[in-house]
Amino acid sequence: MLVLAGSLGGAAQAPGEHVRIALVGDSTVAEGGGWGPGFRAAFGSGVEVLNFAQNGRSSKSFRAEGFWEPVLAARPHYVLIQFGHNDNPGKGPDRETDPATTYRANLTRYMDEARAAGAIPILVTSIVRRNLTPDAHVVADANVPFVEAVRRLAADRHVLMMDLYALTLQQCEQAGRAGCDALGTLTAAGALDTTHLGPVGQREIGAIAAAEFVRVVLPASPAVDPKTIPAGRLLPLTRARSTFPMPVPRDANLPSLVLVGDSTVRNGQGDGAGGLWGWGDALSQYFDTSKVNVVNRAIGGLSSRTYIAFGHWERVLALLKAGDVVVIQFGHNDASAVNDPTRARGSLQGTGDQTETIDNQMTGEREDVHTYGWYLRRLVSDARSKGASVVLCSPVPRNAWKGAMVVRSTTYRPWAEETAKAAGAAFIDLNDLVAVRYEALGHDKVTPFFPSDDTHTARAGAELTALTVASALGDLPDSPAARFLVPMMRTVR
């Protein structure tokens, strides 16, 4: 039976003060004999712990038996992943994995899918089996290779990790045989169970897990009681931008056209709220969606810097495969302040390699800030490493005129082009192409495209820009996207 600790339909929390943590694993985490209940009890009311862990499941069988999908559907902020006890050889073909290959691949898949769903994955090493030598040292068992595999994977992928094996080993050896035995429970036959936890063990190891969670999420903070930490401090930096599901490829077997950018590409949730639309949500009509997925992963308010820093780019990378096309447009928000208490999203000007080290007023962390061109080069390089083609766009123009001419960007437009040439990416001068179309219509007809300000468009403006993008994608030399255009587009360009 699936156990959900905490209620998805409970009392509403104040905005920005609610954290949802999903626990994924086996019986050493689950209700009844695992540390999950003690972990939940260690936090205040603003932290909701959903315990999806299942008795007897391995990293293989947990997914195969359908327990993983509800985790993603719960939309947690964090997913804690601990498997190993049931992955050991001899557990049966439905559960057995190899630590160096299939176990690692299973954990990687959980991590990537959690990120794609907007959550932050945290790998957790298995708790120790409390088998002691006469001199009170824990006996190494068959689970150790899986513990080492978790440690290596976390280091290789730069993923947060809670090393509960090391912490519970230390706890047990310091407590001695009597203290270590007190953490456990009895089997049905009356023997001491050295794997699962009794009430004392659930409480104490759950508290250790909670303190370790706080340590990895807030590494600069002093050790404190988790109950005293305001829930808002535990929320990921993405909290203001991860409150709704992000699009994913409709058909994983098809290539994808993935859009990355700011609110001029995807406004809000992409549903036209307030009458505003980004051009990315009007683009799919120009492509044959039986042959290609059009996936708009742009997020309003972000710059090239914060799209990466907040983890959204890493989630896009988890979706990419060879043959995909990534279209990138940033610039509007890169011109903001490099450091301030509310957004701290600006990048350094230009395309060079200079950096500025700041104590970020918004995050409280030290950060090396790079140039606009540096961040774009990072996006191009990362996407190519996944086998995808990349198209860089200059930012769309604002509704700013000088006489009968639309004002072009003299900074981010040439910087985007310069970066594309240096990185060997395709380039679309969207700033100029859309401006030319605006000028053909004239100021009076273009102004209704901008109902609220000089940057964000109504549907008609988004449609015009989307048509411009589709045409430009088709006109690129050796365009990887041209073959997916609908027949009409092949004649009107």
Catalytically active residues, by annotation = 263, 453, 456
Helices then strands, counting H and E runs in the chain, come out as 16, 16
Q: How many CA atoms lie within 13 A of 181 on its CB side?
A: 10
CB 188 within 8 A of CB 147: no
Rg (CA), the chain: 26
Provide the CA 285 distance to its chain's centre, in angstroms.
28
Element (H, E) at 24: strand 19-25
**3-class DSSP assignment, residue 371:** strand
* Partners of 186 in the β-ladder: 192
- Measured CA distances, 108 to 59, 89, 103, 111, 193 (Å): 10, 20, 9, 5, 31
Which residues, at least 6 apart from 190, have a Cβ–Cβ distance to it below 8 Å?
A: none
Report the C-alpha gap between 154 and 149 in whole angstroms: 9
Q: 198: buried, middle or exposed (CB in 10 Å: 19+, 13-18, 0-12)?
A: middle
Provide the CA 166 distance to its chain's centre, in angstroms.
27
- CA-wise closest residue to 22 among 2, 64, 52: 52
CB 74 within 8 A of CB 8: yes
Report the C-alpha gap between 51 and 220 in whole angstroms: 27
Report the C-alpha gap between 377 and 363 in whole angstroms: 24
DSSP secondary structure, 136-205, as one string: S-BPP-TTHHHHHHHHHHHHHHT-EEE-HHHHHHHHHHHHHHHHHHTT-EE-TTS-EESSS--HHHHHHH
CB 210 within 8 A of CB 43: yes
* Partners of 258 in the β-ladder: 295, 326
Sign of the dihedral through C-alpha 39, 89, 173, 136? positive
Which residues, at least 6 apart from 86, have a Cβ–Cβ distance to it below 8 Å?
A: 26, 56, 57, 58, 61, 95
